[in-house]
Structure 1
Amino acid sequence: MAFSAAPASAESGEAKVSVHGMTQSQVASRFGEPERRHAPVPATGEHPKPPITRWDYADFSIFFERDIAIHRVEHLKRPE
């Protein structure tokens, strides 16, 4: 799966909806259940880092720090 970095927002008709700062329950309410939920990546290293979780939708993925959305990434469309 290829990704393209994009601001933390999602297309909804003509309006962009920011996902940055939304909770997981707010994201699920807004976009429905994701196609796949990835397990949190455990923190490593000397300094504790919060776990990062990824939810995959058909056209984008949303990354969470703990329960809060931090990034939305568009999936690249491959030319046919």
Structure 2
Amino acid sequence: MAEGDGYRCAVDVSDASGTSHHLVRVLPKDLDRWQRGRSAEELVRDSFAFLLERESKASILREFDLSVIQRYFPEFDAVMTKPS
């Protein structure tokens, strides 16, 4: 959902053990840094794929700004800015 100061994306992650629900804020500066031609929704989807390669859905914060990921995973910036 677009907002004046960026986007809020609701994400549901499902597997055999159930579903987790997350809310991700994507600020304009996040799009400038990591978008690489992707929509905000695609960026969030790719970011969750990145997270799920590294931790379980239960370990992912329920609500967070997209930029928080790089605090926990310093390689996030390099992965998200890598040319396609």
**When the two structures are superposed, what TM-score results if normalisation uses the length of structure 2?**
0.31
User: Which protein has the larger Cα radius of gyration, Structure 1 or Structure 2?
Assistant: 1
Structure whose residues are more often helix by fraction: 2
